[in-house]
Structure 1
Amino acid sequence: MQRQVLDYINEESVVELLTKLIEIHSPYFHEEKVMFFTYEWLKEKKLYPQFHEYEENKITNFKGTNVIGRLKGKEKGPCILLNGHLDTVNVCEGWEKDPLKATREGNKLYGLGALDMKSGCTALLLALEAFKKTVKDFKGEILYSFVSDEEGPYGLGTNATIEDGIVKDADVAIVTEPSSGFCGVDFPCLCLGARGGYNYRVEFKGTAAHAANPEKGNSAILDCAKVMMELKNSEMMKDPKLGKGSTCIIEAGGGGQACSVADTAFFTVFRHIVRGEDKAYLEKELYEAVKRADIKSEVKMIFREGPSHESQGFNPYIVEENQPYVNQIIESIENVCNEKPQIAYFSSIGDFNYLGSRLKVPTFVFGANGGNYHTANEYVEIDSVIKTAHVVYEFLINTLGLN
């Protein structure tokens, strides 16, 4: 069996497919070409793909496309969801190589999305092909979703698969985000959960006055600054697995009138959270900071609106280490890599949050090693992509194989 698998998952097949994916420019909200390519690739391999089209009309007015499919066994068994996103961030400044051309240097392959996460999608595609070609009968079902707009503000692609009921039957999920690359640890690295996060805006209303007599007014900008500093000093909850959350001020502004005390100001926060921290907790945290700041301005807190109630933010989740699927994926990693994976927890958010917290199924993040994700000169280590594909294949065999 192993020899057959190597016909489909090897250095040549990984580099060839990953190169093609990298060289299709697919920033979020512009994924049509890469979705069509992936659909045609899966169709050629007789893996029964379908286009899943969705619309988000409340905020973005975006019409998106996912590529989904199912492989059903002859007997009842677990449903394994394989999820990956085919979009990337936009090209940033500072690239020393062409970001839209795959460039190989030894074990590294450079290009936009090489690590995050066209490497993971390559691993899933080749694992699916190998399974289809080498396994005649199995129990259960494989459900795959190659989605759009993970890098955008709401994870619209995976959100749509959940809200449209496409992935409701999943019993366990694997998301091949680059766990080693993101966590900064050697491959193999298995993430058993992730912090969540919410975006909110804080608005201040002060009192205008002439800039020659600032004592007659109340500067909303100064009050805004005081609250920002107090908020950064807030004591956050500590989770035994996820650690602490974090507060990042991502935008601030106000005033603008010539020669006047600013009567308006605002700042915007992205707040990563851990278990036990929710919208009510964040609201309490903010207003305690306002109280400590001892300001005069009126304060209003507004959470970022989401396409739906469930997609307003990203909730944290963990997979308990005694969960049966944990043992199976660790065994699969050991069989391929000849070593146990390092266990970690993702510090940021992604589609895995939606799957782990909303579907409430064990959701593993396992993928390649590399560097410079979301910045210039992004690269992936080729051997880690090969091993990721083999681990996914091994997990499918171990979980769905007939005795």
Structure 2
Amino acid sequence: MEELLAEIEEWNETRLSNDLQEIVKIASVSGEEQQLAHYLHERFTTLGLQSEIDRHGNVIARLIGDHPGPRIVLNSHMDTVGYGNGWTYDPLGAEIKDGRLYGRGSCDCKASIVTHILAAEQLVGRTQELHGELIITHVVEEEVQNKARKGTFKLLEDGFEADMAVNGEAIDMNIGLACGGMVELAVTTYGKRAHGSTPKEGVNAITNMFALASELLKLEPGYHPYTGEGSIVLGVIEGGERSSVVPDECRLKVSRFIVPGEKGEDFLADVEHIIEERKRQDASFQAKVEMTYVSKPALTDKNEPIVQGLTKAMETLGLPVTYSGTPQHNDADYLVNKGGIPTVIYGPGRIRLGHVPDEYVDLSEVVTAAKVLTLALYQVLTRSV
């Protein structure tokens, strides 16, 4: 391990900035990841890994050790959200200023992809020491709100298996043991149409929605020490035709961001209970609710080997160790809950910078994260942790 430590200690921002600039300059908004996938496939092939682009567009690269052992997957996503307004830097310019690289996806999650490349490059010449297999999966459409389109979900549907995973997401340089989930409900209230001059002859569906929403907002979001407090968001409301007509229908989309220990079905039951209580109090009240989207929180035990590997690597490098999680949802959900794969979230960058104008990542963090990840993988795959 001393030799490996000496080698990675020589890493600096110059070593990785060119890679990250190249990747950020490749546009890869959800559904348009093909160019980046081919770049990564060629890069891994050149490094000496077994690489392929599967039928979904995911890049899958393999490094197989000379001895039997666990299968570790490094997972991250190639796609980004759109650019939006408010940028002072070119979203595809990958400009470096004061040690920060700016551009869409720089933080979420192309910096993590670069750390995976560096780790693979460092380990590819050490297969005689490795017990097990390293698989890198860089997937499509993680950012879309439809699990059937998500690359990681599709991999697992195809039967992908692993013993442990690192999900590369920005997490403020902490070790992430949890992610939040989200449930979206569509609520419809009904009324009776009437002329606006005689409103008492009708039943106002918008007024009914206000009454329901006020009760809904009294619900207390959950809390978990790794993800923090959940939230309830009234996201979309539609109803009515014109101000002179009492509306007979109003529609609301509401999301609840849930924490480990909560289920989307619980939120549905809460809203159903509110509706029944309103009906009991007001015979004219009519409403329905349906769950239109749900993703689950994920939680991994601190004693899992991959967590211990990252912990020991950070300690070896003299870095403070903090365990946390992400309040937002990510692919740790599917890896843990669908794949049964203990998953830690780890990658450079600050959570709050994803999806915003002038997204950036500190290059010093990318260097540090690459060192930690490489050392952790080496320790787990050489059974030194």
TM-score, normalization: structure 1? 0.88
Structure 1 residue runs of 5 or longer lacking an equivalent are 55-64, 181-187, 305-311
Q: In structure 1, what is the equivalent of residue 52 of structure 2?
A: 50
What CA deviation, in whole Å up to 9, does each residue of 1:298-346 have, x standing for no partner? 2111222xxxxxxx5221121222334322220012223x123211121
Q: In structure 2, what is the equivalent of residue 39 of structure 1?
A: 41
Q: Is the 8 A contact 1:202 1:266 kept in 2?
A: yes
Q: In structure 2, what is the equivalent of residue 384 of structure 1?
A: 365
Moved more, 71-80 or 295-304: 295-304
Moved more, 338-347 or 106-115: 338-347
Q: In structure 1, what is the equivalent of residue 267 of structure 2?
A: 282
Q: In structure 2, what is the equivalent of residue 226 of structure 1?
A: 211
Give distance in 1, aligned partners of 2:369 and 2:63.
20
Q: In structure 1, what is the equivalent of residue 169 of structure 2?
A: 177
Q: In structure 2, what is the equivalent of residue 332 of structure 1?
A: 313
Asked whether 1:357 is paired with 2:345, we answer no
Give distance in 2, aligned partners of 1:172 and 1:288.
40
Q: How does 1:29-108 map to 2 (within 5 A)?
A: 29-54=31-56, 65-108=57-100
Q: Specify whether residues 164 and 384 from structure 1 end up closer, same or farther in structure 2 by C-alpha distance, changes over 3 A only.
A: same
C-alpha deviation, 1:137, in angstroms: 3.5
Matched position secondary structure for 1:248: strand
Q: Is the 8 A contact 1:230 1:290 kept in 2?
A: no
What CA deviation, in whole Å up to 9, does each residue of 1:174-210 have, x standing for no partner? 0120100xxxxxxx31111112111221112211111
Q: How does 1:254-333 map to 2 (within 5 A)?
A: 254-257=239-242, 259-291=244-276, 293=278, 294=281, 296-304=284-292, 313-333=294-314
C-alpha deviation, 1:291, in angstroms: 4.5
Matched position secondary structure for 2:128: coil
What CA deviation, in whole Å up to 9, does each residue of 1:245-270 have, x standing for no partner? 31111111012257311111111122
Q: Is the 8 A contact 2:348 2:361 kept in 1?
A: yes
What CA deviation, in whole Å up to 9, does each residue of 1:226-259 have, x standing for no partner? 2122111113444455444311111110122573
Asked whether 1:115 is paired with 2:100, we answer no
Matched position secondary structure for 2:107: coil
Give distance in 2, aligned partners of 1:243 and 1:101.
34
Match of 1:367 among 342, 347, 353: 347
Give distance in 1, aligned partners of 2:8 and 2:316.
15
Identical amino acids, percent of aligned pairs: 27
Give distance in 2, aligned partners of 1:125 and 1:8.
16
Give distance in 2, aligned partners of 1:241 and 1:259.
50
C-alpha deviation, 1:360, in angstroms: 2.4
Give distance in 2, aligned partners of 1:342 and 1:7.
22
Q: Is the 8 A contact 1:230 1:292 kept in 2?
A: no
Q: Specify whether residues 131 and 324 from structure 1 end up closer, same or farther in structure 2 by C-alpha distance, changes over 3 A only.
A: closer
Q: Specify whether residues 329 and 193 from structure 1 end up closer, same or farther in structure 2 by C-alpha distance, changes over 3 A only.
A: same
Q: In structure 2, what is the equivalent of residue 161 of structure 1?
A: 155
Q: Is the 8 A contact 2:233 2:255 kept in 1?
A: yes
Matched position secondary structure for 2:194: coil
Matched position secondary structure for 2:246: coil
Give the partner amino acid of 1:18.
L
Matched position secondary structure for 1:41: helix
Q: How does 1:194-273 map to 2 (within 5 A)?
A: 194-239=179-224, 241-257=226-242, 259-273=244-258
Q: Specify whether residues 40 and 4 from structure 1 end up closer, same or farther in structure 2 by C-alpha distance, changes over 3 A only.
A: farther
Give the partner amino acid of 1:163.
E
C-alpha deviation, 1:92, in angstroms: 1.0
Q: Is the 8 A contact 2:67 2:128 kept in 1?
A: no
Q: Is the 8 A contact 1:194 1:316 kept in 2?
A: yes
Structure 2 residue runs of 5 or longer lacking an equivalent are none
Give distance in 1, aligned partners of 2:286 and 2:306.
51
Give the partner amino acid of 1:127.
A
Give the partner amino acid of 1:194.
C
Matched position secondary structure for 2:195: coil
C-alpha deviation, 1:104, in angstroms: 0.6
C-alpha deviation, 1:13, in angstroms: 2.8
What CA deviation, in whole Å up to 9, does each residue of 1:109-147 have, x standing for no partner? 111111111001111111111111344341111111000
Give distance in 1, aligned partners of 2:91 and 2:71.
37
Give distance in 2, aligned partners of 1:126 and 1:243.
32
Give distance in 2, aligned partners of 1:402 and 1:299.
58
Q: Is the 8 A contact 1:4 1:134 kept in 2?
A: no
TM-score, normalization: structure 2? 0.92
